[in-house]
Amino acid sequence: MIHNLTVNVPGQGLHDITDQVKQAVASVVSDTDIFNGLCTLYIQHTSASLLIQENYDPSAKADLESWLNRLVPEHDPIYTHTIEGPDDMPAHIKCMLTATSLSIPLVDGGLALGTWQGVFLWEHRHSSNSRRVIMHVGR
């Protein structure tokens, strides 16, 4: 069972897509008889990635962003791939360090997220973008 999600993001940062993913899962559950199984998210990009993280306190999200921006700064003289702008090579490196695919069990018709867990799309470019995430739900 495949479902396509489009996520429109205004620019760089962690964007909470938990509600959008839950709605897509609910739609799959109502269309099929899959109540227990596995939901896999896959992002079709190399400058945006996926993350499961705390979604309660916004300061945790802000610190993840500032920590990773410091580890992978723009204008690092090590970069030779600079033709697509100063935020492009850092975006690829940040994708390398985070996830392109994520799997979350489906239990009793809902995602088995922990109490404090949310699903985030991490946009690594400064520009606004429309990102494609493919959701697979299997038994």
- Residues in contact with a second copy by the rule CB under 8 A: 1-2, 36-38, 40, 42-46, 51-54, 57, 59-60, 62-64, 66-68, 70, 72, 76, 78-81, 83, 89, 92-93, 95-105, 107, 112-117, 132, 134, 136, 138-139
Residue with smaller CB distance to a second copy, 43 or 121: 43
Residue with smaller CB distance to a second copy, 1 or 7: 1
Side-chain half-sphere exposure of 41, counting CA atoms within 13 A: 29
Q: Position 44: which residue type?
A: Q
Nearest approach in angstroms of CB 30 to a second copy is 19
Are 57 and 14 within 8 A, CB to CB? no
Residue with smaller CB distance to a second copy, 20 or 100: 100
Residue with smaller CB distance to a second copy, 19 or 116: 116
Q: Which CA distances in Å does 52 have to 1, 31, 127? A: 22, 26, 23
The encoded tokens of residue 19 equal 């509600």
Nearest approach in angstroms of CB 117 to a second copy is 6
- The secondary structure of the chain in percent helix, strand, coil, rounded to multiples of 5, reads 25, 40, 35
Nearest approach in angstroms of CB 60 to a second copy is 4
Question: In whole angstroms, what is the distance from residue 63 CA to residue 83 CA?
Answer: 29
